[in-house]
């Protein structure tokens, strides 16, 4: 059995949700897993796993747009603690001597894997933007190239990449493998129904969207992200509750939210049309929204105007029809691939070592 160090990005909850599932499976198979994460990833995982707290990058947004100044300021303030955390991570590797490092878009573990010549596996959706061929509108091509460069800089030399995606494309090398999105067991257990409400998930005070929703008083919107229990006309603000959110997701007639990969994947699995508002300044969210619209599973919208929301509501039957084609797969394929890779004392991994 292998000793595995698992680096997990702390931005959002998607990385830690995926890492929870993969780590649990690996432990069940008899492997020993230690996790290194920060911020939300650390908070989400520390009670159930052996987790070392490190320091990582943070993105600050306002009204669904990345604030460059606040992002830079927030990350500069972390430099002293980041140096100490990196040294702690280095000591963990020296003393524990893992056989392999997995990273879910966490750069410190990736760099140390290269430094100590340890096998490095990426498990994330970000590497589709590096190792998958796909097309984007001309206006996004510059951001596409910049994003690929950033991914290469953050995770420089993976031995192989297990890529999760709700859209497919040709892969650029033999060290990359494509899988359906990894879904939480709670989501796999849900039974989709359809009630009249629309689920809305926003972060960082997306006030302009709320103002637009107020014009549609014939609809009922269940709003998550403000963590309050209040009703303002047809806007029903819901307090944070994982179970409550999943129940509202499974029973809604549609989803309106930012263009995060995890929520889109869960909504599509449950057959819910999706209106995606990509966070301005985040290419991956623009890609998610674009691919969602290209497949006919929903629509993308950069600004929350009345006409765009009305068009989305009008076309709900069309989106639902297309969603009948969406594959309903669990996590078996990627679990089988991990079993294959960790068989025979990591011998299978050696053939993927970069030259």
Q: What is the pLDDT of residue 269?
A: 96
Residue 40, C-beta contacts closer than 8 angstroms, at least 6 positions apart: 10, 11, 12, 13, 16
pTM here is 0.88
The separation between the first and the last C-alpha atoms of the chain, rounded to the nearest angstrom, is 26
User: Looking at the chain, which residues constitute the CATH 3.40.50.2000 domain(s)?
Assistant: 3-181+331-350, 186-323
Mean pLDDT over residues 328-355, rounded? Answer: 86
Looking at domain 186-323, its CATH architecture is 3-Layer(aba) Sandwich (3.40)
Q: Is 116 in contact with 105 (CB distance < 8 Å)?
A: no
Count the helix, strand and coil residues of the chain and give each as a percent rounded to the nearest 5.
45, 20, 40
Enumerate the β-bridge partners of residue 122.
Answer: 103, 161
Model confidence over 116-159: pLDDT tens digits?
Answer: 999 999 999 999 999 999 999 999 999 999 999 989 988 989 99
Mean pLDDT over residues 29-39, rounded? Answer: 95
Task: Give φ, ψ of 177 to 5 degrees.
Answer: -135, 140
Give how far Cα 41 sits from Cα of 16, 57, 279, Å: 5, 12, 20
Q: What is the pLDDT of residue 80?
A: 43
**Distance between CA 92 and CA 70 in Å, rounded?**
32
Residue 64 has pLDDT above 50, yes or no: no
Say what percent of the chain tops pLDDT 70: 92
**Distance between CA 103 and CA 113 in Å, rounded?**
10
CA 56, 62, 65, 67 torsion-angle sign: negative
Q: Is 171 in contact with 325 (CB distance < 8 Å)?
A: no
Model confidence over 332-341: pLDDT tens digits?
Answer: 999 999 999 9
Nearest to 233 by CA among 248, 221, 249: 221
More confident call, 58 vs 40: 40
Residue 63 has pLDDT above 60, yes or no: no
Mean pLDDT over residues 36-54, rounded? Answer: 95
Residue 162 has pLDDT above 80, yes or no: yes
**Distance between CA 12 and CA 284 in Å, rounded?**
13
Looking at domain 3-181+331-350, its CATH architecture is 3-Layer(aba) Sandwich (3.40)
Task: Lowest mean pLDDT of 3-12, 129-138, 204-213, 223-232, name the range.
Answer: 204-213
DSSP letter string, 51-71: EEE-------EETTEE-HHHH
3-class SS letters over 209-270: HHHHHCCCCCCEEEEECCCCCEEECCEEECCCCHHHHHHHHHHCCEEEEECCHHHHHHHHHC
Q: Is 279 in contact with 61 (CB distance < 8 Å)?
A: yes
Residue 194 pLDDT grade (very low, low, confident, very high; cuts 50, 70, 90): very high
Q: What is the pLDDT of residue 204?
A: 61
Say what percent of the chain tops pLDDT 90: 76
**Distance between CA 19 and CA 25 in Å, rounded?**
10
Nearest to 107 by CA among 94, 132, 126: 126
Model confidence over 306-317: pLDDT tens digits?
Answer: 999 999 999 999
């Amino acid at each position: 059995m292998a000793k595995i160090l698992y680096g997990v990005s702390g931005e959002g909850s998607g990385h830690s949700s995926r890492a929870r599932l993969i780590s649990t499976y690996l432990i069940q198979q008899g492997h020993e897993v230690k996790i290194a994460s920060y911020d939300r990833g650390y908070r989400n995982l520390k009670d159930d796993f052996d987790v070392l707290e490190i320091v990582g990058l943070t993105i600050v947004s306002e009204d669904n747009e990345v604030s460059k100044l606040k992002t830079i300021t927030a990350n500069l303030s972390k430099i002293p603690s980041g140096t100490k955390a990196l040294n702690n991570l280095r000591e963990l590797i020296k003393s524990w001597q893992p056989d392999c490092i997995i990273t879910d878009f966490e750069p410190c573990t990736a760099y140390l894997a290269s430094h100590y010549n340890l096998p490095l596996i990426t498990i994330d959706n970000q590497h589709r933007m590096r190792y998958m061929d796909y097309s984007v509108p001309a206006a996004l091509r510059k951001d596409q190239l910049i994003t690929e460069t950033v991914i290469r800089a953050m995770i420089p030399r993976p031995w192989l990449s297990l890529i999760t995606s709700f859209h497919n494309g040709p892969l650029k090398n033999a060290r990359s493998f494509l899988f359906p999105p990894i879904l939480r067991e709670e989501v796999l257990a849900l039974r989709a129904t359809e009630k009249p409400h629309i689920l809305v998930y926003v972060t960082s005070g997306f006030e302009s969207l709320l103002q637009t929703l107020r014009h549609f008083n014939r609809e009922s919107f269940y709003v998550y992200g403000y963590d309050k229990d209040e009703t303002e006309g047809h806007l029903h603000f819901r307090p944070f509750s994982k179970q409550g959110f999943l129940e509202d997701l499974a029973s809604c007639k549609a989803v309106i939210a930012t263009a995060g990969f995890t929520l889109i994947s869960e909504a599509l699995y449950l057959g819910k049309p999706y209106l995606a508002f990509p966070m301005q300044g985040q290419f991956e969210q623009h890609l998610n929204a674009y691919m969602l619209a290209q497949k006919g599973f929903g629509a993308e919208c950069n600004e929350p105007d009345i006409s765009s929301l009305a068009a989305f509501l009008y076309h709900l039957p069309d989106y639902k029809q297309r969603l009948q084609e969406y594959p309903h797969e669990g996590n078996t394929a990627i679990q089988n691939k991990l079993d294959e890779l960790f068989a025979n004392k990591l011998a299978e991994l050696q053939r993927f070592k970069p030259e």
